[in-house]
Structure 1
Amino acid sequence: MGNQTTRSGIASQRKLESASSTANAAPCDVTRSETDHSSYTEFLPIESLTKILVHLAHEEEHVNGITKSVFQKYLFPTHPELSEKLFSYLHHNAQATTTYISTTAFKQQAEKFLSVMNDQAILENYIKMYSNIKDGGNVTPETLKALLMCCYQLAMENNSTSMCLRSEQIINAVVVSCFHGKNSLSTNYVSNWIGQHCPRMVHGLQRYVVHVLTTAYRSGKALLSKEQPQPPIEIPTPVLEKSNLEFPQTNLLPISFVWLLSCTLPQCYLQTNDSPKDVTHALIARRTGSICPRHWTLLYNSGEHGTGANRFLHHVLGYRGPTLLIIRAASVERDEECATYCVCSTVEWRESHLYWGDEDSMGIQLTPSYKIIEKGPKILYLNTNIRGYPHGLRLGSDPRSPFISIDESFHSVSIAGAPYRIASLEVWGCGDTKLREKQLEIKKWQVKEVEKQRVVKLSASDWLDHPDRYLLELAGRASYNESNN
């Protein structure tokens, strides 16, 4: 078309071509396309989907529109609760007076739903979708828990380790922290709280819904109702649901905790150059997003590597990438687990008498309530040998009153001034495999240097004047024979 001056007819043709090219794009790119709000009938995927749904509703229920049962059966057969919430949300926004949605209203609301680009606005839409719309739009603990469980189940449906016994605990921790004992909250407050403490909570859910609405028409009149269920595919994660048989008292980071941390942490903890090699894993990652990091590696586990500052420093120092320190605290009076915290560092751990860390360093409480404690530069402290300064590990911007303080023996921890016994410590490296390999190479070099220092070769003349010879003689050790001397 060049740079010619376009008339209205040519401009309309350009819009149709743009919509057609958008339909052939990837599902994750559809959300980034721009739709023309003045005319909702030019978006080809929604146009084709609407025609199929109207035809099915007319055949099965003799209705000139789109019903809830058809919407659920042919678009979300495996997620009935999500289907009901989404249909009710579109039905409410369309201000429909009937139980079904008319053809024009469905196209308008579906395209309007897909045109939202802002992350916070997308989050608000899902909070409203799961809220009690008929009761004023307030959010209850039950409705928020249903949304969180839907996000978690969708993220784990293609993972063979989806049965996590701790998922209920971590989801309840988010609900408890958000509501503070209240029975209901406004949608604005809940969306702002989720956006602050776990901003990527609904990213996987949004990608899945966009994928269904924009690609279901490609399957023909059957849509997704006859879609064959895929066998469970294990997406490699650093999580081990089973305890180590040699150390049965230790439990590594559950996959539900990894999922929630992935919704909270900055991208520097999640991004990696290692992409899925096979096509199946690539498609899953494209549809639902990088739910669980595949590159996290366990650097230190107190149950396996031993407790103490020396053990911690030996396994952690030298790793030049982001790390997560998981602290499980147990009450002094009882042996049961009390609380779990996560100390996040984007830079290499170092021993210093000064506080360090950048703007992405943070502290997170995982259980019994989930929230970001503090985030920002210079909130981390580690010192085990510099005299005249406090020893141990600390988290907090106030040196006089740090929120988390581990003693120099790494056996007890103080959290908000309350003492606890440390049940276990874990450190996970969040960098790529090259960083881990470099750390191991440095450790091998250090071991070789120590072995060299142990073997000291002395000549005969040096040994005659060596202080150790005189000490041995003073202790009663007989002198060496004259031939050797």
Structure 2
Amino acid sequence: MKLKLGIIFLLTRVVSYKQESSVSTGNTTFDTSDAYLLTRGRAWSISLSVRNTLSEKFLSASVIGMDTEDLLYRSSLHGKGLSRFWSCVEGYKGPALILISAFSKAGSDNVDAGRKWGLGVLTEDGFENKDTFYGSSGFLCATYPIFRMLLPSGKEKNIMYCHLHTQLKTYEATPKPLGLAFGGSIGNERIFIDEDFSKVTIRHHAVDKTYQHGSLIPNQGYLPVEASVLDFEVWGLGGQTTKRQQDIFKKREDIFSGQRRKIDLAAFGNWEDSPEKMMMDMVSDPNKARREER
């Protein structure tokens, strides 16, 4: 009886908050709670699916909504691309929720063409720029048109892959792919987002031993499915302490970057006395007699 009353109370609160979050413009009403990919309904579904401390976070978000300060990255706001994504999430060492909205390309025989769908990744680790998979725990989920949570299988731990170019480039005989990936292995990722954040590739669960079996998109077959990315969100779930630590990290990196850009011209010395000028003079006129100054 108490459980039923509690559910009725929560549903009543959700309805009341949805009414308060609606903005009326003439005869049209917009629900501001659905302005993001992380809607209250999806937060409620995730809260029922996970069995850890994040469940309370999503349960709260399903009633009062997420705090916009927890939004680390949104492609429509910060711009698409791995470098823009990295500038927003670098230094965040806490759990995060990644949500993707995509549109299936026309002419695909492996999935319903011209259809919009969504998926998500819940990871308990921060973002790292590496050429290998990393992570301790994570979840995959289909968010639209149906919701389905895929838990970790425990067989492998290819939770997450995030690789982008660094300032120091070295030769690689077999370059690793640039982009974001979840599950599977390098070259056969369960989910792969390219460097430009314009395309997402979904592969069948047969290539993946990290997450449980199950389809992530409607009518998914055995062949890889490519789709155009419509929107991309990353929500930080580590709280104010984790966000504050990221801010400190970013300020420190800005100071280091400024110091690296400064050039001490005095350190170069005088061009007339430099060995480089002597070599240039010798190349231009090798027969010119030179007297060593003593």
Q: Same fold (TM over 0.5)?
A: yes
Which residue number corresponds to residue 397 of structure 1? 184
Look up the SS of the partner of 1:406 in the other structure.
Answer: strand
**SS where residue 188 of structure 2 aligns?**
coil
Q: Which amino acid aligns with 2:188?
A: S
Question: What does residue range 350-365 of structure 1 map to in structure 2 within 5 Å?
Answer: 350-358=128-136, 360-365=137-142
The equivalent residue for 1:343 is 121
Give the alignment partner of residue 161 of structure 1, picking from 17, 36, 47. Answer: 17
1:357–1:379: 8 Å Cα contact kept in structure 2?
Answer: yes
Q: CA deviation at 1:403?
A: 2.0
When residues 446 and 400 of structure 1 are mapped into structure 2, their CA distance, relative to the original with a 3 A threshold, is closer
Which residue identity does 2:132 align to in structure 1?
L
Which amino acid counterpart does residue 311 of structure 1 have in structure 2? R
**Cα distance change on mapping 1:332 and 1:163 into 2, 3 Å:** farther
Cα deviation 1:163-184 (Å, max 9, x = unaligned): 599xxxxxxxxxxxxxxxxxxx
Higher strand share: 2
For 1:240 and 1:252, locate their aligned partners in 2 and report how far apart those are by CA, in whole Å: 11
Sort the Cα spacing of 1:352 and 1:362 in 2 relative to 1 into closer, same or farther, 3 A: same
Q: Secondary structure at the residue paired with 1:157? A: helix
CA deviations on 1:371-412 (whole Å, 9 max, x unpaired) are: 123525322212123842222111123445322111122211
How many residue pairs match? The answer is: 229
In the TM superposition, residue 369 of structure 1 has moved relative to its aligned partner by 2.2
**Which residue does the alignment assign to 2:235?**
428
SS in 1 for 2:18: coil
Which of 82, 93, 98 is residue 320 of structure 1 equivalent to?
A: 93
Return 5+ residue gaps in structure 2 as ranges: 22-30, 108-112, 167-171, 204-223, 281-294
Compute the displacement of 1:460 (Å). 7.8
Q: Alignment partner for residue 160 of structure 2, among 380, 386, 407?
A: 380
Structure 2: how far apart are the matches of 1:411 and 1:364? 20
Distance 2:178 2:268 in 1: 45
Distance (whole Å) between structure 2 residues aligned to residue 347 and residue 384 of structure 1: 18
* Corresponding position of 1:136: none
Quote the Cα distance in structure 2 between the aligned partners of 1:350 and 1:436: 16
How far did 1:156 drift?
4.0
Mapped contact 2:158–2:185 kept (Cα < 8 A): no
Shift of 1:162: 2.7
The answer to whether the 8 A contact 2:47-2:56 is kept is no
Matches within 5 A, 1:41-440: 154-159=9-14, 160-163=16-19, 241=33, 243=35, 251-270=36-55, 292=63, 297-333=70-106, 338-358=116-136, 360-375=137-152, 376=154, 377-385=157-165, 387=172, 388-416=175-203, 417-440=224-247
Deviation, structure 1 residue 420? 0.4
Q: Which has the larger radius of gyration?
A: 1
Q: Distance in 2 between matches of 1:461 and 1:389?
A: 38
| Residue 242 (structure 1) shift | 6.1
Change (3 A) 1:450 1:254: same
Report if aligned partners of 2:130, 2:162 keep a CA contact under 8 Å in 1: yes
Structure 1 gap ranges (5+)? 1-26, 32-81, 84-149, 166-238, 244-250, 273-287, 472-485
Q: Say if 2:43 and 2:61, in contact at 8 Å, map to a contact too.
A: no
Q: Which residue identity is paired with 1:404? A: I
Output the CA distance in 1 between the equivalents of 2:44 and 2:276: 62
User: What SS does the aligned partner of 1:403 have?
Assistant: strand
Distance change (3 Å), C-alpha of 1:164 and 1:372: farther
Q: CA deviation at 1:353?
A: 2.1
| Residue type at the aligned position of 1:260 | S
Coordinate RMSD, CA, aligned: 3.7
Q: Residues 321 and 362 of structure 1: is their aligned pair in 2 closer, same or farther, counting only changes over 3 Å?
A: same
DSSP-derived class of the 2:260 partner:
helix
CA distance in 2 between partners of 1:394 and 1:402 (Å): 6
Residues 316 and 467 of structure 1, relative CA distance in 2, 3 Å threshold: farther
Please say if residues 40 and 62 of structure 2, whose CA atoms lie closer than 8 Å, have aligned partners that are also in contact: no
CA distance in 1, matches of 2:256, 2:52: 37
